[in-house]
Homo-oligomer: A and B are copies of this chain.
Amino acid sequence: MIDRDALRDFYDGYYGTLDDVRLDEWPAFFVEDCTYRVIPRENFEAGYTLSTIYAESRGMLIDRVMGVTRTQMYAPRYYRRFPGPLRVVSREADSVRTRHNLLVVQTLTDKQTEIVLSAVCHDTLVQDGDRLRLRERIVVFDSEMIPNSLIYPA
């Protein structure tokens, strides 16, 4: 039984890890045999699976993090994530499906903060040993542009 407190703690950890740019800890929030997709809303609503980012194992997420940390961004910047209220969509014996909006803002050193991602996240979480992990995460973003922010995980 995965309760509300456990879900809150999970997302506190998940977004805290990303805000603090501890990217090497990010893949451990997923089960080994996971699905992670980032997809434009238009594709998602039309039933297409063509995604901007697609990973189908924790190993692919680890590869992605290694790629990110090697990427040089042209200017120093910070990302900060503002998740909306968490909705529990359904519960099964060993899993729970949730949905929440996500706003990501970016601040360049000497620039005004701006919104770089407006999205809704469709997640499926399971108890995996001693902690909750994502079995599936689909980040559906409102734009058709590929956001720069997606160099980092969402």
Complex interface: chain B residues within 8 A of A11 (CB): 85
Residue contact B118 to A78, C-beta cutoff 8 Å: yes
Instruction: Please tell me if A84 contacts chain B, counting CB pairs below 8 Å.
Output: yes
CB < 8 Å: which of B83, B87, B112 contacts A115? B112
Complex interface: chain B residues within 8 A of A145 (CB): 110-112
Residue contact A107 to B12, C-beta cutoff 8 Å: no
Complex interface: chain B residues within 8 A of A142 (CB): 78, 80, 107, 113
State how many copies of this chain the complex holds: 3
Between A42, A109, A113, A115, the greatest number of chain B beta carbons within 10 A of the residue's beta carbon is seen for: A113
Complex interface: chain B residues within 8 A of A117 (CB): 113
Residue contact A103 to B82, C-beta cutoff 8 Å: yes
| Shortest Cβ distance from A99 into B: residue | B16
CB < 8 Å: which of B15, B105, B119 contacts A118? B105
